[in-house]
Amino acid sequence: MADDAFDTVVAAHHAEIRRYLLRVTARPSEADDLSQETFLRAFRAHGSLPPDSNVRAWLFSIATNLSRNHFRAQKRRLRAHAAAARERPEVDSAWPESEAAASEARARIEAVIAGLPLKQRLAFIMRKMHDLDYAVIGANLDCSADSARAHVFQALRKIRRGLEGLALVETEPMP
Amino acid sequence: MSHPHPVCREIEPDLPVVAAGEASRAVAERVGRHVGSCTACHEELERYRAVEGFVGRLREAPLPGDDPTLARAELESRLADLRSRLVSFGIFPSPVGPILIARSELGVAMVRYLTGRTRGLAAEVQRLLGDDVVEDRAATEALHAELVAYLEGRRTRLDWPLDLRLARSNFHRDVLRATAAVPYGAVTSYRGIATEIGHPSAVRAVAQALRHNPLPIVVPCHRIIGAHGELTGYAGNRLSLKEQLLAVEGVRTERVAKAPHVARHALYHYDPNEQHEYCLPTCGEIARRPIGPITLFASPERAEALGLVPCTSCRPDLHPLHA
């Protein structure tokens, strides 16, 4: 029955969709609520989904819409979140303390991501954290694939500027 | 970083694209040639590559709060709750025209004949059944297959659990349950149903309740007729559909003063008696009495399937009616 098919959908995608929403909101409780709502909506609609649909892209589109509505409704929260993200303490095994510059870079990158306009942030996270196609990202954000790409690279430029002053590259003298 | 040279300004937007490995070959080559001779742009490209590296590590790094276990458990319980309330419906072709079938976890909740128009149907179904309604052909496909088999005479029972959420009252529910118990190949009267549910005088109320049968065919209101064998109403004004459904079950009909009636002379009669005997229509006055509590059967097999036995005076077993 279709219910079993949906159990498979939950098993395959719930963790990733929640992680996406966690990156977008930076709050586990909001990621819980929005991921739950994403799958409840998907459950209502999955019966009318054409059989060859890309379920993963479809779930990202529901999650993206929900987070956009969520932030639209609570713009104040967005600002609070940006502040909270900047205050987040750094604890991380993947970023060894010896790499002081790397640790500093991560903090700055996270601050830049948290402060990005919502569309750029969503496009950046979908592309760089979840490898979605620009066409899918565009569809999820109501824009063209080219605009989706532009959002991602705009975000990368901002991150690059955010890292200004950090010694990331050993400059080699020109031959 | 500012690039004084026009070429550098032109190249700059391509640098992050090259660093991300998404540039076309031509762009990658152009940028490659340029950074080979421009220290500033070379350095800038390396910075974008470093950014890509950091972003990649950010992606791999553990994310605070990234434990979906509790959220998953909560989701499972909400889904279980939703499943118990949810009504799925599908629209299908059938021998009696397009038909809508809706079901919940409890059973079949609605069957509706459609007359061409399907636009706005989902909204109407939602209005009738509440918010938790989704179109899901897969969930109703099995019911559809059985219904078609039934309408084509390949199946005599639809043993579906009923979800009577659309019943308007306890009385309505009682009428629907009593009607659901009228077996295949048999007909009885509105009065018979009224008697069955303990309200023998509520004949009109029974007819009214069946006019609002949310589950036609499944709750076989086509097997309920007037006291003189007249078919009366069905699905608005589709008496021919009622005739068609009865014909599938072997119940013959005929015209009396242009109105369709069941052909009593071609049906076996059962007037409740202690011996549980069913009769030929020629047995005494039986075929001239109002149908009332009498049940009519298309064949001896249909009657005997209910445990009835042939009448010892008219002997329907020895003198069967000609088909």
**The three-state (H, E, C) secondary structure of chain B, written as one string:** CCCCCHHHHHHCCHHHHHHCCCCCHHHHHHHHHHHCCCHHHHHHHHHHHHHHHHHHHHHHCCCCCCCCHHHHHHHHHHHHHHHHHCEEEEEECCCCCCEEEEECCCCEEEEEECCCCCCCHHHHHHHHHCCCEEECHHHHHHHHHHHHHHHCCCCCCCCCCECCCCCCCHHHHHHHHHHHCCCCCEEEEHHHHHHHCCCCCCHHHHHHHHHCCCCCCCCCHHHEECCCCECCCECCECHHHHHHHHHHCCCCEEEECCEEEECHHHCEEECCCCCCEEECCCCCCHHHCCCCCCEEECCHHHHHCCCCEECCCCCCCCCCCCC
Which residues on chain B are in Cβ contact (under 8 Å) with A3? 83, 139
Q: Of all helices (H) and strands (E), which one includes residue A42? A: helix A28-45
Using CB atoms, pick whichever of A31, A36, A163 lies closest to residue B51: A163
B contact test, residue of A32, A99, A110, A126 with most B CBs within 10 A: A32
- Give the mean pLDDT of A137-166: 92
Q: Any idea what DSSP says for residue A129?
A: I
Q: Are B193 and B218 in contact (CB under 8 A)?
A: no
Interval A27-37: pLDDT, tens:
899 999 999 99
Q: Per the CB < 8 Å rule, is B72 touching A15?
A: yes
What is the least distance, in Å, from the CA of B61 to any CA of chain A?
Answer: 6
* A72 pLDDT more than 90: no
Rg of chain B (C-alpha set): 35
Alpha-carbon torsion (B104, B106, B109, B111), positive or negative: positive
Q: Which residue of A has its CA nearest to B89?
A: A47
What is the least distance, in Å, from the CA of A129 to any CA of chain B?
Answer: 6
Q: Per the CB < 8 Å rule, is B20 touching A156?
A: yes
Which residues on chain A are in Cβ contact (under 8 Å) with B52? 156
What is the pLDDT at residue B298?
Answer: 95
d(CA B161, CA B180): 11
Interval B166-179: pLDDT, tens:
999 999 999 999 99
Q: Which residue of B has its CA nearest to A90?
A: B64
**Residue owning tokens 């500012």:** B2
Q: Are B213 and B179 in contact (CB under 8 A)?
A: yes
- Residues β-bridged to residue B297: B186, B268
Q: Which of residues 65-124 of B touch A (CB under 8 A)?
A: 65-66, 68, 70-72, 74-76, 78-79, 82-83, 86, 88
* A19 pLDDT more than 80: yes
Start-to-end CA span in chain B (Å): 98
Residue A101: CB atoms within 10 Å? 14
Interval B73-131: pLDDT, tens:
999 999 988 888 888 898 898 998 889 999 988 899 999 988 766 677 777 787 888 76
Using CB atoms, pick whichever of B70, B72, B139 lies closest to residue A47: B139
- DSSP sequence for A164-175: TTS--S-PPPP-
Q: Are A140 and A126 in contact (CB under 8 A)?
A: yes
- Closest CA relative to residue B64, chosen from A143, A158, A40, A31: A31
- The percentage of residues in chain A with a pLDDT greater than 90, rounded to a whole number, is 55
Which residues on chain B are in Cβ contact (under 8 Å) with A19? 63, 66, 68
- Closest CA relative to residue B259, chosen from B243, B282, B246, B235: B243
Catalytic residue among B221, B279, B283, B314: B221
What is the least distance, in Å, from the CA of B28 to any CA of chain A?
Answer: 16
What is the pLDDT at residue A94?
Answer: 45
Interval A85-129: pLDDT, tens:
555 444 444 444 446 667 788 888 889 998 999 999 999 999 999
Which residues on chain B are in Cβ contact (under 8 Å) with A46? 136
- The percentage of residues in chain A with a pLDDT greater than 70, rounded to a whole number, is 78
Q: Directed axis angle between helix A100-115 and helix A145-162, to 10°?
A: 130
Bridge-based pairing state of the strands B309-310 and B295-297: unpaired
d(CA B224, CA A17): 54
Q: Per the CB < 8 Å rule, is B63 touching A19?
A: yes
Counted across chains A and B, CB pairs separated by less than 8 A come out at 135
d(CA B128, CA B100): 13
- Residues β-bridged to residue B270: B295
* A84 pLDDT more than 90: no
- Residues β-bridged to residue B309: B277
**Residue owning tokens 């084509």:** B152
Q: What is each CA distance from B64 to A25, A26, A45, A108, B221, in whole angstroms?
A: 12, 9, 31, 17, 61
Q: Per the CB < 8 Å rule, is A109 touching B54?
A: yes
In 3-state terms, chain A is what percent helix, strand and coil (to 5)? 75, 0, 25
Residue A69: CB atoms within 10 Å? 12
* A83 pLDDT more than 80: no
- Give the mean pLDDT of A131-151: 96
Half-sphere exposure of B244 (CA within 13 A, CB side): 13
- What are phi and psi for residue A169, nearest 5 degrees? -130, 130
- Residues β-bridged to residue B296: B187, B269
Alpha-carbon torsion (B56, A102, B64, A88), positive or negative: negative
B221 is a catalytic site residue: yes
pLDDT in 10s for each residue of chain B, 323 residues: 454 688 899 999 999 999 999 999 999 999 999 999 999 999 999 999 999 998 998 899 888 888 999 999 999 999 988 888 888 898 898 998 889 999 988 899 999 988 766 677 777 787 888 767 888 888 899 999 999 999 999 999 888 999 998 999 999 999 999 999 999 999 999 999 999 999 999 999 999 999 999 999 999 999 999 999 999 877 777 888 999 999 999 999 999 888 899 999 999 999 999 999 999 999 999 988 999 889 999 999 999 999 999 999 999 999 888 76
Bridge-based pairing state of the strands B186-189 and B295-297: antiparallel
pTM of the model: 0.67
What is the pLDDT at residue A95?
Answer: 42
Q: Higher pLDDT residue, A13 or A74?
A: A13
A contact test, residue of B58, B74, B143 with most A CBs within 10 A: B58
Q: Higher pLDDT residue, A7 or A1?
A: A7
What is the pLDDT at residue A74?
Answer: 75
What is the pLDDT at residue A138?
Answer: 96
Q: Per the CB < 8 Å rule, is A105 touching B54?
A: yes
d(CA B54, CA A106): 7
